[in-house]
Chains A and B, each alone.
Chain A
Amino acid sequence: MEIRFILNKKQISIDVKADAVLMDVLRSLGCKSIKCGCETTNCGLCTVWIDGKSRLSCSVLAASVDGCEITTLEGVEEEAAEFGRFLAAEGGEQCGFCSPGFIMNVLAMKRELQDPDLEEIKEYLAGNLCRCTGYMSQLRAIQKYMAAQKEKEVQA
């Protein structure tokens, strides 16, 4: 079946099988940032945005995103790199395999929550597993990144 959606601001039209999973379709379209870590919707590695909301692309049928707007890490590369510099300064990316899904969710959180405290950050990101596990360093990176963002806003 043919579906049409917007992927990282580009119109896509593609023929997919009815049971095709969004994660596989997006990877076949070159979005290699998306990783599969578990098959049971526990790990958060395959997080993308569908119409601006974080979703696990491993558990979304491609057919269901017809007409939607999809964003992957490739679509927010600059913003990811900016936050990524804070993450790397703490060493928080480590093996990097969970980083794309994690960063997608961090950037979603930034859009959704105003001044989240530590507990709110942890809860928002609880579905993003990291075995390395950079939980503490990621928290430090997020706090420093958010503070820097605020400073930017004040200056602007």
Chain B
Amino acid sequence: MSMTGDHTAKSSAEEMRIVNHAVPKVDSEALVTGKAVYTNDLAPEDCLIVKIIRSPHAHALIKEINTERAEAVPGIECILTYRDCPDKRFTMAGQTYPEPSPYDRLILDQRMRFVGDAAAIVAGTSEEAVRKAMKLVKIKYEVLEPVLDFRKAKDNPVLVHPEENWRSLCPVGADNKRNLCAHGVSEAGDIEAVLASCEHVIDRVYHTQANQQAMMETFRTYTYLDAYGRLNVVSSTQVPFHVRRILANALDIPKSKVRVIKPRIGGGFGAKQTSVSEVYPAVVTWKTGKPAKILFTREESMTASSPRHEMELHVRVGSDDEGNIRGIDLYTLSNTGAFGEHGPTTVGLSGHKSIPLYGSPEAFRFTYDVVYTNVMSSGAYRGYGATQGIFAVESAVNELAKELGMDPTVLREKNLVREGQVMPAYYNETAKSCALDRCLARAKEMIGWDEKYPCRDMGNGKVRGVGVAMAMQGSGISSVDTGAVAIKVNDDGFYSLMVGATDMGTGCDTILSQMAAECLDCDMKDIIVHGVDTDISPYDTGSYASSTTYVTGMAVVRTCEKLREKICERGAYYLGCPVDDVEFDGEKVTNLKNGESISRKDIGNKVMCFNNEALSASEAFSSPTSPPPFMAGIAEVEIDKETGVVEMVDYAAVVDCGTVVNPALARVQTEGGIAQGIGMALFEDIVYSKKGKDYSNSFMQYKIPSRLDVGNIRVEFESSYEPTGPFGAKSIGEIVINTPSPAIINAIQNAVGVTIRELPATAEKVYRGMQELKD
């Protein structure tokens, strides 16, 4: 038997027919012609409409709920309160069991923990009836003092979670009696001694704000019972398998009773890695037996969702006179809000994916606290803490360059991590594939750094500056994330590729099909892809943590290898020869001894008659390592010296994501992440009133970038080859949001001398900074 063999070893584009080519997405035609493929397009007409009555107080206890008049409204099916829901805590975080996020939620609770917390669920046959009933539910609250300043939350006498049945499943340093969701330290070497002996130490505090993912499709779910009495859940989610467990936990029912289906998703960016909307229609359907749906309004998606963790980061970076970075110390304080979803894990990335950018310093220390407060729960947002940490560390390095009087790109060239280096702050993993040096060099060329650094006065009251930053991320969660794939051979030899990874617009249905077509030596059209239905799809942790290309991609490669073996075996059997004599070229199995062959089509049809062995394969993959992609980003901004308004001019980004599986999709991922990062750097901010009400409750108050706000974005790839990845690939989805904030802040600094340490860099902050410099 001879096989095309080790597909991880294929490297150059010349060898590959489909991988590394810009194949259009397999679902593109349906999307561009507006077909009914999203959750709300598919929901049955007779669904009960589910809405939530939300707390007007940041911290309160429900003393009394009177639903009598509301229940009398014609069309009202049920009104549920905390008395109707299990008193068994769970987490809405979509993570592998046992979840690091504490079990601190109930579907409905007597204690309200933020303005917008769910107080009651109303379900009825029409929107109108439900709205009317919501007004008639009378709730008496005992208003309590809230914890709103996350700097004062730890050991505050006011506890966000005083309840006795709060549980932390993992040793993450959580303690609800101290408002602590997590605490930890990791270090190598004697950081205090190293910093004490450094000629230069930058000691700064940075603040990153909470951000909304603001995907265009808000949270939404519909539910129904099937013929077997099982709860079927169709939801806009990134984590179908986790949702199955979360709902079983929340409703206190066996997991076998729950089926989760993911249709097309209108964007996620991490928001839908938390089960934000699923429990509400699920409990209604489970109680009433009737189909139900919830569509979050944009306002709800802005005020009761799963935004980026606000963080305060205290960085100390020490170097010698020549700019050799000798030690980095980072303390991160993270605000998880009312619930701990993704609290213990996001914070880890703020150190573990920022410090390792700088080769091997003599010592590092990374300490953190994650605290509960009475604002909406935070969650997962693209970058997942790395974005915050990289902003702080990269900004500190830029401030070090300023102190040394050194070009910040030169300082980086001296210190950046290189291929083959061990990264002590990244779990001592070795950078087996790393083209960060080439990324930085190319980004400098693209922008014309040497001509433009630090700034150019345009002579019209405006000044242009350039600024730089580097970034890394992971490729899946090492030793945790698991992707499984199944491929079947059908009549006429077409393949069905079953994946549990969730395409949310990112294109993983396409790139996984590309990999399968490459491995099976067939065309894309010979493969149909199906995902995700937890009853049918092989298990996958879900699409998050930049895992799909790397983890699920490798599962595709392994599955294809196994399937090729099986096709050879069946082919040899039908040809009546030993399997060692045959070769499969994708179209036919040939007996190399006599040239006789049988086509894949014939094999596909033959196995459907008088056959005792299914022609299919299913393999899983999980990796003990998480190879980081790397990138360099350089921003050019123009600042109005009279007003402080910052405009994006140009952005040059060069990414090392290993082998690029689909250049068009990788490019749009990068452009999109940068555009989101520009919003974070310049204007996006969740602002609360003194009483904890979220003012940023619509696109009026929470501006996201329009196509007039992002300037020109240019993307190139400098590929390394990741030996443990499929076709040499690493991840791309998250890293791309990490450079804009530090690069833009550096560009502002280089243009007008103002250093912004609290995001976003609004015109007001830049203007005030300029005034202070004048004084």
Query: A residues near B, CB below 8 A?
Result: 32-35, 37-40, 42-43, 45, 72-74, 77, 80-81, 83-85, 87-100, 103, 122-123, 125-139
**Complex Cα spacing A148 to B215, Å:** 32
Contact of A99 among B24, B34, B707 (CB under 8 A): B34
Would you give the shortest CB distance from A95 to chain B, in whole angstroms?
Answer: 2
Closest chain A residue to B215, Cβ basis:
A131
Q: Mark B23-42, 1 if CB is under 8 A from A, else 0.
A: 01101111111111110010
- In contact, A87 and B32 (Cβ under 8 angstroms): yes
Query: Within 8 Å CB of A32, what residues of B?
Result: 34-36, 41
Q: Mark B269-302, 1 if CB is under 8 A from A, else 0.
A: 1000000000000000000000000000111000
Query: Within 8 Å CB of B698, what residues of A?
Result: 38-40, 42
Query: Within 8 Å CB of B713, what residues of A?
Result: 135-136
Q: Mark B241-269, 1 if CB is under 8 A from A, else 0.
A: 00000000000000000000000111101
Closest chain B residue to A123, Cβ basis:
B708
Query: B residues near A, CB below 8 A?
Result: 22, 24-25, 27-38, 41, 213-218, 264-267, 269, 297-299, 504-507, 662, 664-665, 667-668, 671-672, 675-676, 698-700, 704-708, 710, 712-713
Contact of A81 among B32, B36, B41, B712 (CB under 8 A): B32
- Interface pairs (16), CB distance under 8 Å: A32-B36, A33-B35, A35-B217, A40-B298, A45-B216, A74-B34, A77-B33, A80-B33, A90-B668, A92-B668, A103-B34, A125-B707, A126-B708, A132-B267, A133-B676, A139-B707
Total CB contacts across the A-B interface at under 8 A:
176
With contact pairs A97-B216, A131-B215 given, residues A42 and B699 touching in the complex (Cβ less than 8 Å): yes
**Complex Cα spacing A81 to B34, Å:** 10
- In contact, A95 and B215 (Cβ under 8 angstroms): yes
Query: Within 8 Å CB of B297, what residues of A?
Result: 39
**Complex Cα spacing A98 to B297, Å:** 16
With contact pairs A35-B217, A91-B507, A91-B667 given, residues A129 and B33 touching in the complex (Cβ less than 8 Å): no
- In contact, B34 and A80 (Cβ under 8 angstroms): yes
Would you give the shortest CB distance from B30 to chain A, in whole angstroms?
Answer: 8
Query: Within 8 Å CB of A128, what residues of B?
Result: 707
Additional 6 contacts, C-beta under 8 A, given A35-B38, A96-B27: A37-B298, A40-B700, A93-B28, A94-B668, A122-B707, A129-B706
Closest chain A residue to B267, Cβ basis:
A95
- In contact, A97 and B217 (Cβ under 8 angstroms): yes
With contact pairs A35-B216, A131-B215, A136-B671 given, residues A73 and B34 touching in the complex (Cβ less than 8 Å): yes
Q: Which 8 A-B residue pairs are closest in the complex by CB-CB distance? A: A95-B505, A33-B34, A84-B32, A96-B31, A97-B266, A88-B28, A42-B699, A32-B36
- In contact, B33 and A98 (Cβ under 8 angstroms): no
Would you give the shortest CB distance from A16 to chain B, in whole angstroms?
Answer: 14
**Complex Cα spacing A73 to B36, Å:** 12
- In contact, A95 and B33 (Cβ under 8 angstroms): no
**Complex Cα spacing A94 to B662, Å:** 13
**Complex Cα spacing A99 to B28, Å:** 10
Contact of B216 among A125, A127, A131 (CB under 8 A): A131
- In contact, A98 and B216 (Cβ under 8 angstroms): yes
**Complex Cα spacing A88 to B27, Å:** 9
- In contact, A135 and B24 (Cβ under 8 angstroms): no
- In contact, B41 and A91 (Cβ under 8 angstroms): no
**Complex Cα spacing A139 to B668, Å:** 12
Would you give the shortest CB distance from B762 to chain A, in whole angstroms?
Answer: 19
Query: Within 8 Å CB of A39, what residues of B?
Result: 297-299, 698
**Complex Cα spacing A35 to B236, Å:** 15
- In contact, A97 and B505 (Cβ under 8 angstroms): yes
- In contact, A129 and B699 (Cβ under 8 angstroms): yes
- In contact, A81 and B33 (Cβ under 8 angstroms): yes
**Complex Cα spacing A90 to B665, Å:** 8
**Complex Cα spacing A33 to B556, Å:** 33
- In contact, B29 and A84 (Cβ under 8 angstroms): yes
Query: Within 8 Å CB of A138, what residues of B?
Result: 707
Would you give the shortest CB distance from B334 to chain A, in whole angstroms?
Answer: 24
Would you give the shortest CB distance from B382 to chain A, in whole angstroms?
Answer: 11
**Complex Cα spacing A33 to B266, Å:** 13
Contact of A131 among B269, B507, B668 (CB under 8 A): B269
Closest chain A residue to B269, Cβ basis:
A131
Would you give the shortest CB distance from A75 to chain B, in whole angstroms?
Answer: 10
- In contact, A129 and B216 (Cβ under 8 angstroms): yes
Closest chain B residue to A37, Cβ basis:
B216
- In contact, B25 and A93 (Cβ under 8 angstroms): yes
Closest chain A residue to B676, Cβ basis:
A133
Closest chain A residue to B697, Cβ basis:
A40
Contact of B31 among A45, A99, A127 (CB under 8 A): A99
Contact of B24 among A73, A77, A88 (CB under 8 A): A88
- In contact, A131 and B267 (Cβ under 8 angstroms): yes
Query: Within 8 Å CB of B35, what residues of A?
Result: 32-33
Contact of A126 among B33, B36, B504, B707 (CB under 8 A): B707
- In contact, A38 and B699 (Cβ under 8 angstroms): yes
**Complex Cα spacing A138 to B700, Å:** 24
- In contact, A95 and B265 (Cβ under 8 angstroms): yes
Query: Within 8 Å CB of B665, what residues of A?
Result: 91
Closest chain A residue to B302, Cβ basis:
A38
With contact pairs A45-B216, A95-B267, A125-B707 given, residues A131 and B676 touching in the complex (Cβ less than 8 Å): yes
- In contact, A135 and B32 (Cβ under 8 angstroms): no
**Complex Cα spacing A42 to B698, Å:** 9
- In contact, A135 and B710 (Cβ under 8 angstroms): yes
- In contact, B668 and A134 (Cβ under 8 angstroms): yes
**Complex Cα spacing A92 to B22, Å:** 12
Query: Within 8 Å CB of B672, what residues of A?
Result: 94, 132-134
The CB with the most chain A CB atoms within 10 A, among B31, B264, B504, is that of B31
Contact of B699 among A40, A74, A96, A103 (CB under 8 A): A40
**Complex Cα spacing A80 to B676, Å:** 27
Query: Within 8 Å CB of A38, what residues of B?
Result: 298, 698-699
Query: Within 8 Å CB of B298, what residues of A?
Result: 37-40
**Complex Cα spacing A137 to B713, Å:** 10
Closest chain B residue to A104, Cβ basis:
B34
Closest chain A residue to B299, Cβ basis:
A39
- In contact, B216 and A122 (Cβ under 8 angstroms): no
With contact pairs A97-B267, A131-B215 given, residues A91 and B34 touching in the complex (Cβ less than 8 Å): no
Query: Within 8 Å CB of B37, what residues of A?
Result: 96
**Complex Cα spacing A34 to B40, Å:** 11
Query: Within 8 Å CB of A127, what residues of B?
Result: 706
